[in-house]
Amino acid sequence: MCSKAFSRSDNLKSHFLTHSKEKHYVCEVCGKAFTQRSSLEAHLRIHSEEKPYTCDVSSKAFAHISSLKSHLLTHSERKHYVCEFCGKAFAHRNNWKEHLRIHIKEKPYICEVCKKAFGRSGTLKSHLIIHSNILVKYAVKLSPKVVL
C-alpha cells in the first residue's frame, strides 16, 4: 500500500478505501461511483450546480475549492508565463500556450466536416454549430416530420 500515517482510525479507514477497488458511494443521478463520500459530495455539485466557493475579488463562484485556488492566480501579481511576442502575462501555463498559437499561427483543432483549422478548441466548438444548423435545415427540407 502506502506509508501514510493517521492519528485517527476513521481517517485511516477512509484513506484505506482509496486503495480498494470497491466504490461504495454511488451517485443516484448518473451512477458514477466513488471510494470516498467527500468525492461523491463534490461530484454531486455538477448535477446541482451548487458553487459554494466564491472569489472575494471578482465574485465568481466555483464548485470546488481547487478551482477557486486556480482562479485566484489570475488576480495575483505572480504571472510567471509571459508571451515573448507581445509581453502579455499569464498565471496559467495552458492559457499562455493557447495564446502563443495566435502569434505562431498554430491551428491544431480541425473541423471534421469542412477541414477548417482553429487555434482554440472553443472556437472549433462554436464553428461546429454552423454545421449542425445546416444539417438541421437540410433534414427539415427532406422531411418535415424528421425529429431531431
**Which runs of E-coded beta strand occur in 1-135?**
25-26, 33-34, 53-54, 61-62, 81-82, 89-90, 109-110, 117-118
Domains by residue range for the chain, with CATH: 9-48 (3.30.160.60)
pLDDT for the residue numbered 34: 87
54 in Cβ contact with 60 (< 8 Å)? yes
Summarize pLDDT for 69-80 with one digit per residue, the tens.
Answer: 888 888 877 788
Each residue's pLDDT tens digit, 17-28: 677 778 888 999
The 10s digit of each residue's pLDDT in 79-103 is 888 899 998 888 889 889 989 998 9
The three-state secondary structure class of 26 is: strand
Whether the CB-CB separation of 91 and 80 falls below 8 Å is answered with yes
- For residues 61 and 42, what is the distance between their CA atoms, to the nearest angstrom? 14
Is the per-residue pLDDT at 35 higher than 90? no
